[in-house]
Amino acid sequence: MNNQKDKVIAYVRTYGSITPEEARETYSITRLAAVVFDLKELGHMFVEPTEIVKGKNKFGEPCTWAKYQYLGMKNKESS
pLDDT digits (tens, 9 = 90+) for 35-48: 999 999 999 999 99
The angle formed by the CA atoms of residues 67, 37 and 10, to the nearest 5 degrees, is: 65
Mean pLDDT of 57-67: 93
pTM: 0.84
Domains and CATH numbers, the chain: 3-73 (1.10.10)
Mean pLDDT of 20-42: 95
Residue 60 has pLDDT above 70, yes or no: yes
Model confidence band, residue 77 (pLDDT cutoffs 50, 70, 90): very low
- Taking the CA atoms of residue 27, residue 44, residue 13 and residue 18 in that order, the dihedral angle to the nearest 10 degrees is 50
